[in-house]
């Protein structure tokens, strides 16, 4: 039934069809591999033969072909056509490329033995690109470490030879080449597993010593993250898990270059997310439409971005993000309701990092994608993320029915490193404190954080706390564009009782620097 005296392996052309042995007609694409007679398809390579060239009761001449097909190509062909055959299962798992000749002669011998067949031609062998197994280095030390048991070198040589390996031993390691029918053996640990299997796991004695197969790995980072979950839950937040795959539009919102999936299930899940905020916003929108009026949500998950060329340029971050909206406190007969805002969000983050972990928590006014009135989050003076009111532009682009949503997103990587640091405890002073209030008039646009940091720095070892306790704005009393900020400053020394002569020079220096660096003056 072959129209040509030729066998050719080629890719199908889009729209080409083939009726297979199960009498199903398949429309093919250029991803399918075909066996042809030079022109007409006669089989779907590695999956199933064609009906037109099938053996029947009237067949007198049979062409025998023995071939090896790539596992990935075979799997794609079978999966795209929703087929699963004995042949496809065999090739998908990796057949033995060196077994074609043996398989060919086995079929010939069966035809001659069972069907009185007669070989009418010589075998034609075409092997243009010989497949070879890579060499694997097996270290003596690693074998002993993983097994926790010493196996004699002669026994290792015997086992490797018995399972088809070609091996050469030096004083410290073996160079091994796996047999062609074991494409699954690729690494040193695979060879060790084969040796353990041949010895028998029950034959390996238990080793209770610490030098056995134990690894001294880094502590599980999740153990450091669990207290963050617990603290946020205590603040009334609920943790969510959103899809890590997004469409191209959502993944581009953050301004980072997204990573496209090689085989996306759909265009809605074609890219890895670059931010956790879109998922939180969609969750908030869903809950509001289902009767919830107030929400506090957070998510701990990985995000990805393309920062360079190729796979080496892919960056993965472990992020923490959260949003709040609605009422922070419900109204009652004793007090009015209080809505969520930037100040309640700041309070949650300050409670987490400043109170829980004793880290320095600061905010710096800067613009960030996804936020209106954005603030940079500084932990121990290091930028780790941003917070603010979520961008109305993002809300409109995502077609969500939410408003006045406040959120944050930060990178946990630097924070986890900070948590690794040693805790430093200060001796409790036995001497009394001195408290002074300093009232400074400064521009409205001046944040109090840098002024507070300057006071603490200038105070050196005698100022233990400085914080703004009151802000007063009155253009008639102060002037246009000005505000009055009262700072409460506490002085204390560890070895003596402070006097005015110790405190007054420090106060004067603070006033001088505030006037020079922040255009602030002492309010009279």
CA dihedral 282, 286, 292, 294 (to 10 degrees): 10
Instruction: Write out the DSSP string of 468-484.
Output: EEEEE--HHHH-TTEEE
Q: Is the confidence at residue 217, as pLDDT, over 80?
A: no
Strands (E), 142-264: 166-169, 173-177, 238-239, 245-246, 259-260
CA distance 473 to 482: 7
Q: Does residue 100 sit in helix, strand or coil?
A: helix
Which of 189, 209, 179, 192 lies closest to 151, judged by CA?
Answer: 192
> Residues, the chain, total?
524
Q: Does residue 225 sit in helix, strand or coil?
A: helix
Domains and CATH numbers, the chain: 8-114 (3.50.40.10), 136-203 (3.30.56.10), 222-419 (3.30.930.10), 434-522 (3.30.70.380)
Whole-angstrom Cα Rg for the chain: 36
pLDDT recorded at residue 514: 94
Q: Is the confidence at residue 357, as pLDDT, over 60?
A: yes
Instruction: Write out the DSSP string of 424-437.
Output: --PPPP-SPPEEEE
End-to-end CA distance of the chain: 109
Token pair, residue 123, equals 């075998």
CA distance 140 to 244: 42
Note the pLDDT tens digit of each residue in 442-499: 999 898 888 998 999 888 789 999 999 999 999 888 989 999 999 999 999 989 999 9
CA distance 510 to 459: 8
Q: Is the confidence at residue 214, as pLDDT, over 60?
A: no
Which of the two residues, 408 and 426, has the higher pLDDT score?
408
CA distance 91 to 79: 13
pLDDT recorded at residue 127: 84
Contact 390, 308 (CB under 8 A): no
Q: How many CB atoms lie within 10 A of CB 49?
A: 18
Least confident of 314-318, 327-331, 386-390, 513-517: 327-331
pLDDT recorded at residue 211: 55
CA distance 35 to 49: 9
- Mean pLDDT, to the nearest integer, of 77-103? 88
Instruction: Write out the DSSP string of 60-71.
Output: -----------H
CA dihedral 273, 314, 382, 405 (to 10 degrees): -10
User: b/e for 441-465, b at 16 or more Cβ within 10 A?
Assistant: bbeeebebeebbebbeebbeebbbe
Contact 54, 21 (CB under 8 A): yes
CA distance 96 to 187: 18
Token pair, residue 32, equals 């399918």
Token pair, residue 105, equals 């002669």
Contact 372, 289 (CB under 8 A): no
Averaged pLDDT of the chain: 89
CA distance 405 to 382: 26
Task: For residue 97, give the DSSP letter.
Answer: G
Contact 381, 289 (CB under 8 A): no
- Percent of the chain predicted with pLDDT > 90: 48
Q: How confident is the model at residue 365 (pLDDT cuts 50, 70, 90)?
A: confident
Token pair, residue 235, equals 């603040």
Rounded to an integer, what is the distance from CA 505 to the centroid of its chain?
53
Instruction: Write out the DSSP string of 308-367.
Output: SSTGGGEEEEEEEEEEEESEEE---SSS--EE--HHHHHHHHHIIIIIIS---EEEEE--
Note the pLDDT tens digit of each residue in 30-47: 889 999 988 889 899 999
Q: Is the confidence at residue 234, as pLDDT, over 90?
A: yes
């Amino acid at each position: 039934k072959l129209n040509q005296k030729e066998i050719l392996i080629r890719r199908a052309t889009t729209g080409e069809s083939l009726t297979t042995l199960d009498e199903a007609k398949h429309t093919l694409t250029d991803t399918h591999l075909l066996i042809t007679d030079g022109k007409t398809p006669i089989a779907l390579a590695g999956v199933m033969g064609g009906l037109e060239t099938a053996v029947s009761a009237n067949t007198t001449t049979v062409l025998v072909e023995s071939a090896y097909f790539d596992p990935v190509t075979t799997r794609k062909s079978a999966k795209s056509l929703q087929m699963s055959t004995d042949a496809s299962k065999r090739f998908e798992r990796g057949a033995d490329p060196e077994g074609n000749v043996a398989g060919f002669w086995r079929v010939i011998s069966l035809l001659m033995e069972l069907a009185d067949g007669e070989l009418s031609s010589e075998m034609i062998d075409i092997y243009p690109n010989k497949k070879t197994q890579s060499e694997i280095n097996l270290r003596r030390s690693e074998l002993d470490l993983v097994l926790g048991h010493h196996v004699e070198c002669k026994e290792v040589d015997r086992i490797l030879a018995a399972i088809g390996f070609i091996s050469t031993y030096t004083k410290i390691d073996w160079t091994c080449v796996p047999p062609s029918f074991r494409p699954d053996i690729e690494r040193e640990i695979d060879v060790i597993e084969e040796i353990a299997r041949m010895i028998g796991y029950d034959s390996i004695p238990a080793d209770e010593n610490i030098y056995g197969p134990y690894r001294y790995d880094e502590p599980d980072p999740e153990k450091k993250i669990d207290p963050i979950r617990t603290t946020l839950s205590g603040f009334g937040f609920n943790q969510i898990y959103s899809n890590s795959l997004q469409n191209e539009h959502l993944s581009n919102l953050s301004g980072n270059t997204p990573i496209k999936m090689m085989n996306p299930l759909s265009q809605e899940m074609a890219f890895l997310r670059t931010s956790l905020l879109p998922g939180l916003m969609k969750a908030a929108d869903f809950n509001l439409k289902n009767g919830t009026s107030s929400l506090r949500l957070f998510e701990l998950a990985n995000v990805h971005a393309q920062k360079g060329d190729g796979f080496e340029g892919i960056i993965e971050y472990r992020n923490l993000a959260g949003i709040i909206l609605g009422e922070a406190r419900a109204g009652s007969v004793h007090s009015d309701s209080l809505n969520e805002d930037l100040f309640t969000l700041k309070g949650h983050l300050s409670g987490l990092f400043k109170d829980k972990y004793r880290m320095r928590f600061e905010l710096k006014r800067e613009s960030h994608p996804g936020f209106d009135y954005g603030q940079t989050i500084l932990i121990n003076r290091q930028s780790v993320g941003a917070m603010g009111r979520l961008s109305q532009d993002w809300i409109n682009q995502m077609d969500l029915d939410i408003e006045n949503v406040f959120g944050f997103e930060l990178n946990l990587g630097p924070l986890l490193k900070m948590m690794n640091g040693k805790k430093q405890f200060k001796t409790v002073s036995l001497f009394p404190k001195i408290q002074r209030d300093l009232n400074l008039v400064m521009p409205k646009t001046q944040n109090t954080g840098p002024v507070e940091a300057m006071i603490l720095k200038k105070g050196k070892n005698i100022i233990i706390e400085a914080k703004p306790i009151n802000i007063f704005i009155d253009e008639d009393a102060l002037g246009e564009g000005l505000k009055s900020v009262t700072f409460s400053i506490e002085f204390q020394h560890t070895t003596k009782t402070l006097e005015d002569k110790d405190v007054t020079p420090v106060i004067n220096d603070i006033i001088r620097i505030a006037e020079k660096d922040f255009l602030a003056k002492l309010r009279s």
